[in-house]
Amino acid sequence: MKISILSLLSIFFTFGAFAQQLSGSSSTYFEIRKYYANEGKLPDLIKRFQDHTMELFEKSGMENIAYFLPVDNTDNSMTYILGYPDEKSRDRMWEKFANDPEWKKAKAASEVNGGLVKSVDQTFMKLAKGLNDTPTPQESGIFQLRTYTSLDGRLDNLLRRFKDHTQDLFEKQGLRNYPYWVTVEKDGSQPKLVYLLADKDQASFEMDFQNFIKDSAWVKARDASEADGKIVEKVDAVFLKTLPFSTLK
């Protein structure tokens, strides 16, 4: 199969922009992992990540992208994002990690008084085309992880609206665009849009987001994009703060 020079340049600049956002990232396949800790075990779980797990992930070829705690941590959880060179390497790297004697030793030592993790949620993702060429944001005090479920057949319309309007209008209000992904749905269902939006603190975020919603330029762009029907079925959003050892800030 022949690849044109333009195609190669497009790939280069897409990954180059994303690398700028994430300090040299070369990953093309990503995973959000949400861990629900057993009662009273979240501090031990965080310490295990800081002292052992992160380093052993990298030893196995994974990339530590970001580590978060929810602002309103009612479910005793932590969320983190890993990067992999590609989809095929993901399972191989996890097998290498799981069988690493150093990991087995650290896990056993941390669980002398009981297991740390009750359950794990996983979301697999790839880069959203055309949505990762925004300027590198400054460090942020608050993040919101936003997941958009679009109506059937309307994902491309949603991505186009973000590319042509939404991202710029976020920045106009002082909101900061971080990486944008689309999910990889193992059951073949329509992918979702997932991204991180940030600001200096939660009060600023809430004010700036309200200003975005009321912006006449946004209202005009939204209405024009929905002339032939609604695009978004629902939006899930959760406020997060980075843990001290998170690469992404």
How do residues 24-40 score in pLDDT, each as one tens digit?
A: 678 999 999 999 999 99
166 plus 209 within the same structural domain: yes
Number of domains in the chain: 2
- Give the pLDDT confidence score for residue 21 in this predicted structure: 52
pLDDT for 212 equals 98
Whether residue 190 has pLDDT greater than 50 = yes
Asked if residue 184 has pLDDT above 70, the reply is yes
| 181 close to 126: Cβ distance less than 8 angstroms | yes
How many DSSP H helices and E strands does the chain contain? 9, 8
CA atoms within 13 A on the CB side of 88: 0
Q: Is residue 2 part of a domain?
A: no
Write out the residue range of the structural domain in which residue 112 sits: 26-125
Mean pLDDT of 207-219: 98
pLDDT (0 to 100) of residue 134:
81
Q: Are residues 139 and 87 in the same domain?
A: no
Q: Of the candidates 108, 125, 142, which is a domain's last residue?
A: 125
Residue 133 to residue 170: CA distance in whole angstroms: 14
The answer on 133 and 107 residing in a single domain is: no
Inform me whether the pLDDT recorded for 5 exceeds 80. no
Name the pLDDT band for 95 (thresholds 50, 70, 90): very high
Alpha helices in the chain (DSSP H): 5-21, 42-48, 54-59, 87-98, 101-110, 155-161, 167-172, 202-214, 216-225
With 60 as the cut, is the pLDDT of residue 3 above it? no
Residue type at position 193: L
161 in a structural domain: yes
Q: Is the pLDDT of residue 12 over 70?
A: no
Are 38 and 111 members of one domain? Answer: yes
